[in-house]
Amino acid sequence: MDDLARRLGLRTNAHIFFWSAGLMVAILLLLLVFPGPIGEVFGAGRDWIVAKLGWFFILGVTSWVIFLVWVAFSRYGSLRLGKDDDRPEYGNLSWFAMLFAGGIGTVLMFWGVAEPISHFSDPPFAGTEPYSIEAARSAMSISLYHLSIHTWAIFTLPGLAFGYFVYRRGLPLRFSSAFYPLLKERIHGPIGKTIDVFAVLGTLFGLAVSLGLGTSQISAGLSALTGTADAVWLRVVIITLLTAVATASIVAGLDKGVRRLSNLNILMAVGLMLFVLFFGDTVFLLRQVIESLGYYLQDVVRLSFWNDAMAQFGKEEGWGWQGSWTVFYWAWTVTWSPFMGIFLARISRGRTVREFVGGVLVAPSVFTLVWFVIFGWSAMELDGIGGDGGALSAAVAESVPLAMFAFFDHFPAATLISGIAIVVVALFFATSSDSASLVVDMLCSGDGDAGPVRQRVFWGVSEGAVAASLIVLGGDQALTTLQQVITVMGLPIFVLVFVMLVSLLTGFRQERFGAGADPSVPQDGAHAEPSDRGGSPADRAP
């Protein structure tokens, strides 16, 4: 494999690269050649996981939140993600801005209106009347539970582990490095490489779900604006075009490509949010920022442990409401954890554990609160709080991706704003794809430097191909198919992140607090695996 990599001009860990690529291609072929049987397998797998292990997902993420809060206030909170004399590369404002950039994406554009309206029109709690004030309040609490602190805990735990083991312990920039206290030198052998392959595949499929959702939303928006049928072929064309844009960004490089697209993306998304704030019921929305925070804090403990155990006695026999929402969210989000974990670790080198946990959990969650209040409460108010439902509930019932555009129909210059929203979603697609291509390349090589362009282009094209395959497999039921696939793919990654918590705690305990690391633990890349590029990957980590 090493000889083949050299002949192809690749600079990577050949075993991780080719095994990841080979398994990805095999899965794609199975999806395209046997869509019916494979779809049934994923459907059955998802139903089994939700029915038997849904509680594990819910308890797991809640335990991660508790662990992170504890470790931030413990004596380990003063440890630095780097050497003891390292200091942050970025100031607080720049760092928060980058966390803010990571906190928005296709998920907020897709669910900002759709999720609150879904829970508002069909409350999950018995005794809550649809469209009532209580339904509106619980809808906002549930939406914030799904996409604020708990979601960011899924990113924070791997980010903390990467930052600690890569920058303080000098290990390669690979997912398996986070398991060094448990596996020792075996992270460089078959066990470690198997873990890295799972991380690469999970990241690819997690991104594919986001790209699939974004593509569905763009297709729905174009259909609403132009009258073109919202068909599978249109979504495949959209994915193809946007993958080409993302690939061009990859070729341009990190500074010229990813950075410029990200900055433009952030400005346009914030502009949309401010437009809704100032052209909507401004005073009501500003008051709801405070009040919704109170609803969330009041309800978050109950939601954190609620696993829909009584669903089998209700109308949703088998796996209940949680399977379509919370378990799907956690399984989907955890597949992003290698990607987001590396991003967070890279921008946080030199910060203390306490600074890292506090900043990553709080800053993006505050933005999520503001986003959902402005879009969600505006949507519920327009739909008729205390009434019988309106156009937005009908739009969500017909097509979830259409919700945002039905919402903009209630504002001035609806066509123009809808067009801008389509561009924002498209840019999120491109920035997610090119950023993930860089990270997947790093996960394969264990190196913080960007690999050859051909290597990164391969992963960019692969992400688009996986997303397109899932769209074709799902057909008109693409959202359901995406939920099924990601729940199955997310389970092994979820288990690995759970074990990562144990490994991280073990690593912390090996520290002689205040006197540096335990001499028995490798420092400065002493145990790092030699890379195909010469030297230790840790020597070139950013």
Mark 104-141 as b/e (b = at least 16 C-beta within 10 Å).
Answer: bbbbbbbbbbbbbbbbbbbbbeeebeebeeebbbbbbb
Lowest average pLDDT, out of 275-284, 293-302, 318-327, goes to: 318-327
pLDDT given for residue 526 in this prediction: 41
The DSSP secondary structure of 252-277, one letter per residue, reads H-IIIIIIHHHHHHHHHHHHHHHHHH
- Angle (CA) 231-235-260 rounded to 5° is 150
Question: Which pLDDT tens digit goes with each residue over 328-344?
Answer: 889 888 988 888 888 88
Question: Which pLDDT tens digit goes with each residue over 134-165?
Answer: 999 999 999 999 999 999 999 999 999 999 99
Question: Which pLDDT tens digit goes with each residue over 119-137?
Answer: 999 998 878 899 999 999 9
> Over pLDDT 90: what percentage of the chain?
35
Whether pLDDT at 86 is above 80: yes
Cα–Cα distance measured from residue 410 to residue 393, given in angstroms and rounded to the nearest whole number: 14
CB half-sphere exposure, 222, CA atoms < 13 A: 17
Cα–Cα distance measured from residue 517 to residue 236, given in angstroms and rounded to the nearest whole number: 51
Question: Domains of the chain by range and CATH?
Answer: 6-511 (1.20.1740)
What does DSSP assign to residue 352? B
For the chain, the helix, strand and coil percentages under 3-state DSSP, each to the nearest 5: 80, 0, 20
Whose tokens are 């306490």? That residue is 354
pLDDT given for residue 203 in this prediction: 84
Whether pLDDT at 372 is above 90: yes
Average pLDDT of span 217-227: 84
